[in-house]
Structure 1
Amino acid sequence: MNQLAVTEADLHAYVDGLLSDARSEEVAAYLAARPEEQARIHTYREQNEGLRALFNPVLDEAVPPRLTAAAREHASTFSSSYWRFAAGVLIAIVSGAGGWMLHGAAQTGVLARSAIKNANGNIALAGFARQAAIAHGVYTPDVRRPVEIGADQEDQLVTWLSKRTGADMHPPKLGKLGYELVGGRLLPGETGSPVAQFMYQEAGGQRLTLYVSTDQAQNRDTGFRFAQQGTVNVFYWIDGKFGYALSGGVNKGELAQIAHAVYDQLENRPQ
């Protein structure tokens, strides 16, 4: 019987240990004759290990009490968008099958631009999400002028950012999660097009930023992703032409809960 051709799906299943013993032997023989493919598979395995090392600890993290209370309060009003988001967050946090995440990205080249390993072996950011993390690091420490227009002039902020970006730029409300809007500013994006940054702060002084890009129509990496740039954790996702990145120094579990609140408000906003 003729041996079946080895496909890209076979290679990723091989990385994740999902093939039968017989098929694994066939793929191993295929790789033995192709050193360049062996090197690629080795890279995939290293990426899997990095993803697991980064994301698996969240399973042991307790959800902050204020987020648990907010979830209970709104449990009856969760929309179907919650479950779509939750599925994406679960994949991003646990990353138990990183090879399959890489499978789709290998075809488009997107993941290589979105998440790369830094010198410490952690997953670092590239692209618009990296820009968001850098902007977070630059502006959140500023005590006197962290934003260009403050929350006390929210209407002016919305009008200005919406006009400059050419899109509706109303900031999500996060007060029930303990974060109040500080204000926002206009920043240059990857291609020079304007992007919006909204900043939030909780009572203890912890700050989060939401970075909104409008030039992501070419980016087909629509899944929810989690990564980090230095000490900044980031959840980011694409929705049509929009790219959203929520950045902060809080743990992955809390950031995921807040990212859901942001996503849910954006998904259900009247058009």
Structure 2
Amino acid sequence: MNDKRLQPVPTAGTPITEADLHGYADGQLPAARHAEVAAFLAAHPQDQTRVDDWQAQRRALRAMLDPVLDEPLPLRLPLKPPARVWPWRALAASVAVAVVSASAAWVARGAVDARHLQTVLAAAGADRAAAGYAQRAAIAHAVYAPDMGRPVEVGADNEKGLVTWLTKRMGEPMRAPSLSQAGYALIGGRLLPGGAGPVAQFMYGAADGQRLTLYITREAAGGQNAFQFTQEGPVRVFYWVEGGLGYALSGAVSRDELQRVSQEVYRQLQGEGQG
């Protein structure tokens, strides 16, 4: 992606770029450039918020992935190079730029009053949060779905205990939808760190070895109820909000297949809410 030039701080230094912000967030800049970027961020709180978000996501990823580094490698695990690098920071940056640019354009035109502008910003913030948890769902799927040794913390043979545990930790009633009619059996589930609290993940497997994961989070308040779709490399995600919870079904399957199963998950969860 081509670097988008940002408005520079009025100094003699080189203009700050998107790459500089990422380098600052990752602690990869030389000392002199680090100081220039720090000065830029001090004068641009919106960009400081973006950098803070990236750093928070890095910490969350490390908390999630570091324990895996200490696990013994299963003897039957196929050793394959990673398919791609996950551009989660680039997505977060592009969403933030879009929100800021859209809001600035409305103000410049004078087409909305302050109250309407707040509504627009609130909706944009909710959409950004939804995109964020969908991205984390894709990453969690990519980490755990290929694991042949310990893909879940609690297996399907103790589904009742799994649901009770996740319900207690999430503070909301949890249930693993039955997807046997859709061709997928419950493997089990686990608890994950999310952007704002714990997240539940249920994993399902098909006879051909394909796996799907259902990611459930409480950080989706105010998001859109309609199905939304995103993709990260081979991992496709359908996500939506129902009853104050955000749901994201992820898998390296076709979009049509994932949509078919997502609709079944939605049907079961909605039926539960109406019962």
Q: Is the 8 A contact 2:127 2:223 kept in 1?
A: no
Kindly indicate whether residue 166 of structure 2 is the aligned counterpart of residue 161 of structure 1. Answer: yes
C-alpha change, 1:209 and 1:105, in structure 2 (3 Å) is farther
Kindly indicate whether residue 260 of structure 2 is the aligned counterpart of residue 257 of structure 1. Answer: yes
- Report the secondary structure of 1:161's partner residue: helix
Kindly indicate whether residue 216 of structure 2 is the aligned counterpart of residue 201 of structure 1. Answer: no
Kindly indicate whether residue 117 of structure 2 is the aligned counterpart of residue 113 of structure 1. Answer: no
d(CA) in 2 for partners of 1:114, 1:249: 23
Count of residue pairs the alignment pairs up: 156
Q: Is the 8 A contact 1:110 1:221 kept in 2?
A: no
Give the deviation of 1:220 after TM superposition.
3.0
d(CA) in 2 for partners of 1:264, 1:242: 15
1:9-54 residue CA offsets vs partner (Å, 9 max, x unmatched): xxxxxxxxxxxxxxxxxxxxxxxxxxxxxxxxxxxxxxxxxxxxxx
1:46-91 residue CA offsets vs partner (Å, 9 max, x unmatched): xxxxxxxxxxxxxxxxxxxxxxxxxxxxxxxxxxxxxxxxxxxxxx
| Map of 1:226 onto structure 2 | 229
Higher relative contact order (CA 8 A, sep 6+): 1
- Note the residue ranges of structure 1 that are not aligned, 5 or more in a row: 1-103, 116-125
| Map of 2:176 onto structure 1 | 171
Kindly indicate whether residue 189 of structure 2 is the aligned counterpart of residue 215 of structure 1. Answer: no
What is the one-letter code of the residue matched to 1:250?
V
Give the deviation of 1:223 after TM superposition.
2.0
C-alpha change, 1:255 and 1:106, in structure 2 (3 Å) is farther
**Structure 1 vs Structure 2: percent identity of aligned residues?**
53
d(CA) in 1 for partners of 2:230, 2:129: 9
Give the deviation of 1:190 after TM superposition.
0.7
What is the one-letter code of the residue matched to 1:224?
F
What is the one-letter code of the residue matched to 1:133?
A
| Map of 1:184 onto structure 2 | 189
| Map of 2:95 onto structure 1 | none
Q: Is the 8 A contact 1:210 1:247 kept in 2?
A: yes
Q: Is the 8 A contact 2:129 2:219 kept in 1?
A: no
Q: Is the 8 A contact 1:105 1:111 kept in 2?
A: no
Q: Is the 8 A contact 2:138 2:250 kept in 1?
A: yes
The root-mean-square deviation of aligned C-alpha atoms, in Å, is 2.0
- Report the secondary structure of 1:185's partner residue: strand
Give the deviation of 1:214 after TM superposition.
1.7
| Map of 2:56 onto structure 1 | none
What is the one-letter code of the residue matched to 2:264?
A
